[in-house]
Amino acid sequence: MDIVLVHGAGGTPSTWSRVAPLLRAAGHQVHLVTNPMNSLREDVANTTGVLDDCAGPVLLVGHSYGGVVITNVGRDERVAGLVYICAFAPDEGESVQDIIGRYPPAEVSKHMRRGPDGEWFSDHSPEYWAEIGWDVPEDERASFDADSRPSADAIFAEATGVPAWRARPAWYLVAAQDKTLRTDIQRDMAARSGATISEITGSHFTPRVWPREVADLVERASASLTGAPR
pLDDT at 30: 97
What is the CB-side half-sphere exposure of residue 215 using CA atoms within 13 A?
21
Query: Is it the case that residue 121 has pLDDT exceeding 90?
Result: no
Total-model pTM: 0.95
Helix axes 66-73, 40-50, angle to 10 degrees: 60
14, 39, 64, 222: the active-site residue: 64
Catalytic site residue 193? no
Q: What is the pLDDT of residues 187-213, one digit of tens each?
A: 999 999 999 999 999 999 999 999 999
Query: Is it the case that residue 98 has pLDDT exceeding 80?
Result: yes
Q: What is the pLDDT of residues 136-184, one digit of tens each?
A: 988 888 877 777 788 889 999 999 999 999 999 999 999 999 999 999 9
Q: What share of the chain is helix, strand, coil (3-state, %, to 5)?
A: 40, 15, 40
Give the percent of the chain with pLDDT over 70.
98
Tell me yes or no: is domain 2-225 CATH 2.40.10.480: no
Confidence of residue 83 (pLDDT cuts 50, 70, 90): very high
Question: Rounded to an integer, what is the distance from CA 116 to the centroid of its chain?
Answer: 26
Per-residue pLDDT, averaged over 98-107, amounts to 96
Tell me which residue of 53, 58, 46, 56 sits closest to 82, measured CA to CA.
58
Which one is predicted more confidently, 149 or 84?
Answer: 84
Confidence of residue 228 (pLDDT cuts 50, 70, 90): low
- The domain segmentation of the chain, as residue ranges, is 2-225
Which one is predicted more confidently, 198 or 1?
Answer: 198
